[in-house]
Structure 1
Amino acid sequence: MKHQLSIGSPAPSIKMLAWLQGAPMPVFQPGWIYILVYLSTTCGCCETALSDLETLQEMYRDIGVEVIGVVAKEPAPTADEARSLVETWLADRLSNSDVRIAYDYTGEMDKHWMDASLSFWVPQAFVVSRNGTIAYIGDPNSLECILDHVVDGSWDSSAEAREAEKERLAECEVYELERALEIQIASAIEVRDWKRALSATKEAIKSIPDNPTFREAHVELLMRKLHDFEAGWIALGRFARGAIERNSADWLLAAMRQLFCSPYEYSSLPFAERFSMGKELSDCILRLCPQQDALSRAESYQTIASYYHENGEKSRAVELVEQALALVQGETLSDDVKQEWIADLMCVLGKYKH
């Protein structure tokens, strides 16, 4: 898919929006800067993002900056049900917000804003400059650093803006390719054509070698579907060594999950080599933990705890899960997200203590 909306493009219409909070606004007003942010009722970090943007709105409102929240593509069979879903979410989570909120069930906002800009994630921010053109597309968390430049008109034509947009589009194009490859793999798996799925997975690894998800899928197909433990062990060993060389948390955690957290017949794998590899991965993950945020550390602790538990170091496994639990409990999260984390960790803790 080719992008049609980028920095410098005229801002698309918002006339299709149904306004739920704040006065209706069918068009952008000349001379104002608008931060239009895409939200979702199922997005765990959207509330925080909107709250942060509301703070920016308060700081800059006197010089003509306003935030607009847009909810679209909600999983409901009718427009009325979608509206009710969004209204309930607003009442529960954003009742004190001073931001205009609208929703769209027609698909037009998605088509002309998200799809046209190759945007796939929420929250996603679009900044409309005073002259009605797009000044920024991307993560709303980055706006605090650039908003002064947008306000004084220096951002749109800057080399920094062009480079940021170039990087964004490159990431989006990779993501689009990833989705196409995932569909190929999933379609083969759906009809239980394991050989075609394996071939598609190998092609995905070749096309996007930096994506650990395809490596995990490769190992899983060999181990669970084809029961080729010799080839599976070779692929898993190569995956783990690559993770250690990259020293990437995503890769290390993915490799550890394959070694100790998956429903494989681990008795078919070399015992000593598996635990030696687990120890090396665990040490690498622990060295990265001080650089991680609280939830990432919690995930790391929970993942490596499986290695310690299976290795007979049950007290260490319990200690790690308890540390993960404390980190999650100390975080500011929506109730449902926090409770899901806590329930999962408590289940693991109960298993390790018995």
Structure 2
Amino acid sequence: MVLQIESPAPSIQAETWLRGEPLTSFEPGKVYIVEFWATWCGSCVDGMPHLMQLQEKYRESGVEIVGVAASERAPTADEARSTLDAWLTEKFPNLNYRIAFDSTGEMDKLWMEPSFSFWIPTSFVVDRDGCIAFIGEPTELDEVLPKVLNGSWRTSDQAKSADAERIAEGEPIAREQALKKPIKDRYRAAVEKKDWKTALSAIEEGIALMPDNLGFRRSHVNLLLHKMKDMQVGLPVMRQFVRDAINRNSENWMVAALDELFFPN
């Protein structure tokens, strides 16, 4: 079921609360901003002072902000949690809103995936009745939040149009993600075991399904040249990757090609 305006808000299934008291349920009469973010996301970090300002400005109006760190990068969950805790202490010692940490993927499954939200930061506004009022970029909160508070947002044509557009854009991406997931899961499991033959089989299956997917194409080059050391097969694949990057005139493709040439992982 698609998570959208008027949907009941999912529950908060955080693994750990690093700042503020644990939030077990949404209190009727209060408005919550649930923001998914990460320390490695520049725009997320840049937006944190703004969230602090919103929390201070609207606290007396019953607004509570919850930052959900569900995408931290570290070898283990314990390391991710402790690193995040130290980062918060250093960067935002006076943070005035809750921070939840989750490495299980549960919060993404409850909030991000059913709402077709694929990037961070993403903000969810939960209205006074526990229903979703807004899903989108936090830069829009200055306009949206006052209208949520005065009760005019959810019934407005602007809100309905924006949500319909968001869903229409997200549905094809979600379908593609669903197709890629089993392939990527098989690839990652094989890479962890250094089973390069199985990893290559998974990537070639992905390319056959989505020949224009940058991630699959780059992984194909990386496997052949840098993991399997198969220069006979890998060099022609690399040359084709570079040609395609040039023909597309795409910065992302060019950066990926240059990285595989000079800075492979």
Sort the TM-score into its range (normalised by shorter chain): 0.7 to 0.9
Percent identical? 40
2:89 to 78, 88, 91: 91
Q: TM-score, normalised by structure 2?
A: 0.72
Aligned to 1:43: 40
Provide the C-alpha distance between the structure 2 equivalents of 1:228 and 1:117, rounded to a whole number of angstroms: 43
Aligned to 1:352: none
Q: Flag the 1:131–1:217 CA change in 2: closer, same or farther, 3 A.
A: same
CA contact (8 A) 1:219 1:232 kept: yes
1:227 to 219, 225, 230: 230
Higher relative contact order (CA 8 A, sep 6+): 2
Q: TM-score, normalised by structure 1?
A: 0.57
Q: Flag the 1:203–1:127 CA change in 2: closer, same or farther, 3 A.
A: same
Q: Flag the 1:176–1:120 CA change in 2: closer, same or farther, 3 A.
A: farther
Q: How big is the alpha-carbon RMSD for the aligned residues of Structure 1 and Structure 2?
A: 3.9
2:170 to 168, 171, 192: 168
CA contact (8 A) 1:47 1:94 kept: no
Provide the C-alpha distance between the structure 2 equivalents of 1:255 and 1:107, rounded to a whole number of angstroms: 31
Aligned to 2:195: 192
Long gaps (5+) in structure 2:
none
Provide the C-alpha distance between the structure 1 equivalents of 2:63 and 2:165, rounded to a whole number of angstroms: 24
Provide the C-alpha distance between the structure 1 equivalents of 2:105 and 2:219, rounded to a whole number of angstroms: 33
Q: Tell me, what secondary structure is at the counterpart of 1:182?
A: helix
Provide the C-alpha distance between the structure 1 equivalents of 2:219 and 2:68, rounded to a whole number of angstroms: 35
1:202 to 172, 186, 204: 204
Provide the C-alpha distance between the structure 2 equivalents of 1:223 and 1:84, rounded to a whole number of angstroms: 36
Question: 1:86: Cα distance to partner?
Answer: 5.5
Q: Greater share of helix residues, 1 or 2?
A: 1
Provide the C-alpha distance between the structure 2 equivalents of 1:14 and 1:124, rounded to a whole number of angstroms: 15
| Paired residue total | 255
CA contact (8 A) 2:125 2:134 kept: yes
Long gaps (5+) in structure 1:
264-354
Q: Flag the 1:205–1:50 CA change in 2: closer, same or farther, 3 A.
A: same
Matches within 5 A, 1:275-314: none
Question: 1:98: Cα distance to partner?
Answer: 2.1
Q: Flag the 1:145–1:245 CA change in 2: closer, same or farther, 3 A.
A: farther
Q: Flag the 1:168–1:54 CA change in 2: closer, same or farther, 3 A.
A: farther
CA contact (8 A) 1:47 1:93 kept: no
Question: 1:132: Cα distance to partner?
Answer: 1.9
Provide the C-alpha distance between the structure 2 equivalents of 1:200 and 1:113, rounded to a whole number of angstroms: 29
Q: Tell me, what secondary structure is at the counterpart of 1:112?
A: helix
Provide the C-alpha distance between the structure 2 equivalents of 1:198 and 1:73, rounded to a whole number of angstroms: 27
1:253 to 230, 243, 255: 255
Say yes or no: does 1:52 pair with 2:50: yes
Q: Flag the 1:8–1:108 CA change in 2: closer, same or farther, 3 A.
A: same
